């Protein structure tokens, strides 16, 4: 398999969290809940934190304590597996699975403008998984970064082609991480 030409040609399916076992296995955090996403014989690309990419072949896969455990060909020891910690496990865009209508790949949300009703909030700069039931959109709004759960209860419409996410957010959600006002600081001191 020839490597696609640019980073945009890949989607990330999972991130390697840690070694798991003594024979080169790794535990991974998967992005999304697609059954059978990883299979023996599957080719993946590991993108390291320093930007290097290499092709891997899955020998075996099984679930363990909420994560998937993967065993790759040629990774036969703990020290081999340690090389993969922090790597994103990717496939070329052309190989990603089709989704049912109404479903979206989380990686497609990066770069989308987020709206609360008709009010533009900012653009999705990153996505954080594992903090709760729903992934967190890291929205850049001027100099602030706002964490917004990409939860079904808040999402009204996702338009990947227009790069827009329309949401109905609860009152005050956008101010959860805002600095305290002088009045709020005074109230805290009185308590």
Question: CATH number of the domain at 106-172, please?
Answer: 2.30.30.240
Asked if pLDDT for residue 109 goes beyond 80, the answer is: yes
Question: So what's the pLDDT on residue 23?
Answer: 94
Asked if pLDDT for residue 138 goes beyond 70, the answer is: yes
Asked whether the domain spanning 106-172 has the same topology as the one spanning 7-94, the reply is no
- Return the DSSP state at 38: S
Joined tokens for residue 6: 């640019």
**Where do the DSSP E strands lie in the chain?**
10-19, 25-30, 43-47, 53-64, 67-72, 88-92, 113-116, 119-128, 136-141, 144-149, 155-159, 164-167
Calpha distance 119→116 (Å, rounded) = 5
Calpha distance 146→123 (Å, rounded) = 10
Cβ-proximal residues to 13 (8 Å cutoff; 6+ apart), any chain: 30, 31, 32, 37, 38, 44, 89, 90, 91
Strand partners, 45: 55, 90
Asked if pLDDT for residue 182 goes beyond 70, the answer is: yes
Question: So what's the pLDDT on residue 131?
Answer: 60
pLDDT digit string, tens, across residues 20-52: 989 999 999 887 655 667 889 999 999 998 889
Q: Are 145 and 122 in contact (CB under 8 A)?
A: no
Average pLDDT, the chain: 84
Question: So what's the pLDDT on residue 123?
Answer: 95
Assign domain 7-94 to a CATH class. mainly beta
| Mean pLDDT of the region 7-31 | 86
Asked if pLDDT for residue 65 goes beyond 70, the answer is: yes
| Mean pLDDT of the region 89-111 | 78
Asked if pLDDT for residue 2 goes beyond 60, the answer is: no
Domain boundaries, the chain: 7-94, 106-172
| Mean pLDDT of the region 165-187 | 79
């Amino acid at each position: 398999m020839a490597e696609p030409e640019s980073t945009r040609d890949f989607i990330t399916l999972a991130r390697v969290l840690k070694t798991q076992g003594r024979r080169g296995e790794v535990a991974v955090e998967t992005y999304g809940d697609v059954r059978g996403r990883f299979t023996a014989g599957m080719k993946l690309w590991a993108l390291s934190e320093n930007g290097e990419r290499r092709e891997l072949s899955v020998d075996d896969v099984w679930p363990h304590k909420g994560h998937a455990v993967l065993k790759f060909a040629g990774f036969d020891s703990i020290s081999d597996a340690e090389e993969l910690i922090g790597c994103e496990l990717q496939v070329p865009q052309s190989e990603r699975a089709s989704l049912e209508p109404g479903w979206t790949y989380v990686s497609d949300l990066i770069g989308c403008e987020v709206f609360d009703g008709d009010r533009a909030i900012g653009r999705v700069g990153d996505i954080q998984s594992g903090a709760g039931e729903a992934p967190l959109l890291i929205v850049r709004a001027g100099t602030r970064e706002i964490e917004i759960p990409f939860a079904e209860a808040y999402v009204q419409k996702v338009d990947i082609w227009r790069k827009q996410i329309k949401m109905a957010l609860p009152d005050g959600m956008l101010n959860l991480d805002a600095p305290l006002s002088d009045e709020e600081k005074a109230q805290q001191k009185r308590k």
